[in-house]
Amino acid sequence: MAEIVIGIAASHAPNLANPSMLRGMDEEQLGRIKAGFAQARALLEEARPDAIVIFSSDHFDRCFFDNLPPFLVAVGDIAEGPINEYLKIPKVKVSVDGGLGRFLVSEGLENGVDFASSVDLPLDHAEVVPLSFLTPNWDIPIVPIVVNAFAPPMPSLKRCAQVGAFIHEAVERWPEQKRVAVLGTGGLSHWVGLPETGRVNAEFDRWFMEALAAGRQSDIIARYKKAEELDAVAGNGGQEVRDWLAAAGAMPPTLRAHVLAYEPLPGCGIGVMAWTKS
């Protein structure tokens, strides 16, 4: 049977993967962020996963109002991207563990989680940015699960945590002797395309990461039952914390959470966390 051996949660701000977009930013802040990603990469390499399940977001480049599933699982063999070329991030091609993806979809249909699926899902910067730090050799197969955190109706924070818990259970039922990592990527607080664009709420970000690290997901869920309540404190981009909650929900009780980095960069709060056995 398979097992989840590590969890990571990290922001995916596109400027992190495009040096030309980092000009003028504080070098010490950037250094601490890179150090956090480097620590996460070392922990991932130590865990030796055979596949990475990624809870990530869409930015209206793969899904739109005509087709906006709450949870979309990649079940093909290869994924390429990022599809949003305007960001000038180098394109990559990554293997997809379609067997695991198809197993998760099938298990979901049998157990009350109606995943959508795609055999030809392109990558977004949501996956490419964190993976460029964590797996720069692009040598670990992935299973992207796109969570709608971009436009209503969005799955509730509670539902995202529940789906994460289901992924944990399903992975343990997967009849393969495989080691699986889980990555949740997005946020933290930021406002996109609004008058508040550029704003960051470091107080919220730190509270959120501390609550997640302490295993208090229920506190987060109880405080932000409605998307509008989260919007008010973390911005429309802050809705991506759904991916972090899903990753946290997937963690076995044997793994402990650690905050590896947080910096309120102009335009986006950037965080990195990991769940490990020590």
Annotated active-site residue in 59, 125, 168, 258: 125
* Strand duo 51-57 + 179-185: pairing: parallel
- State yes or no: is 59 an active-site residue: no
145 - beta bridge partners? 55, 73
Among candidates 153, 224, 154, which has minimal Cα distance to 189? Answer: 224
**Consecutive H or E run containing 142:** strand 142-147
Q: At what angle do helices 157-173 and 98-110 cross, to 10 degrees?
A: 110
End-to-end alpha-carbon separation of the chain, Å? 22
Among candidates 278, 258, 243, which has minimal Cα distance to 53? Answer: 243
3-state secondary structure 160-206: HHHHHHHHHHHHHHCCCCCEEEEEEECCCCCCCCCCCCCCCCHHHHH
- State yes or no: is 258 an active-site residue: no
Using CA atoms, how far apart are residues 1 and 58, in angstroms rounded to an integer?
A: 31
Give the catalytic positions in this structure: 125, 190
